């Protein structure tokens, strides 16, 4: 019985580690140093604190960021939905369930490098 519980715990740990490494399989690289790109990179980090600090540094409010910023010619909501940036979406009060995107869930997630450019 003890062996079974140890095996189960190991399997759960290994599965959660695999899922967490695949969740952020895209690496984001800034195209330039513009304010729009800085904001898009903060959204791409998927970290509420980093996004909040960047917004405070460039003096922009959530409403303006969500309605006026585009990242790689996508609205912030579509950008967050496309790349599973759930923490950033929650911070910006975006409902990703209402954004329609097509994703191949069965596709193998590979490490991708994506150049991010914000609106000018």
What would the pLDDT profile of 29-55 be if each residue is shown by its tens digit?
A: 998 999 999 999 999 999 999 999 999
Other residues' Cβ atoms within 10 Å of the Cβ of residue 31? 15
- Judge whether 91 and 46 are in contact, CB under 8 Å: no
Helix (H/G/I), strand (E/B), else coil: 25:
coil
| Residue 117 pLDDT | 81
Measured in degrees and rounded to the nearest 5, phi and psi for residue 29 equal -125, 135
Whether this model's pTM surpasses 0.75:
no
Q: Report the alpha-carbon distance of residue 118 to residue 73 in Å, rounded.
A: 8
């Amino acid at each position: 019985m003890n062996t079974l519980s140890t095996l189960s715990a190991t399997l759960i740990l290994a599965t959660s580690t695999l899922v967490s490494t695949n969740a952020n399989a895209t690496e984001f690289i800034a195209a330039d140093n513009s304010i729009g790109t800085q904001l898009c990179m903060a959204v791409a980090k998927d970290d509420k604190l980093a996004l909040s600090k960047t917004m405070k540094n460039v003096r922009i409010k959530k409403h303006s960021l969500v309605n006026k910023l585009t990242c790689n010619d996508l609205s912030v909501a579509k950008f967050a939905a496309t790349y599973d940036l759930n923490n950033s979406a929650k911070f910006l009060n975006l409902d990703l369930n209402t954004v329609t995107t097509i994703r191949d869930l069965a596709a193998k997630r590979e490490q991708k490098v994506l150049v991010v450019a914000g609106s000018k």
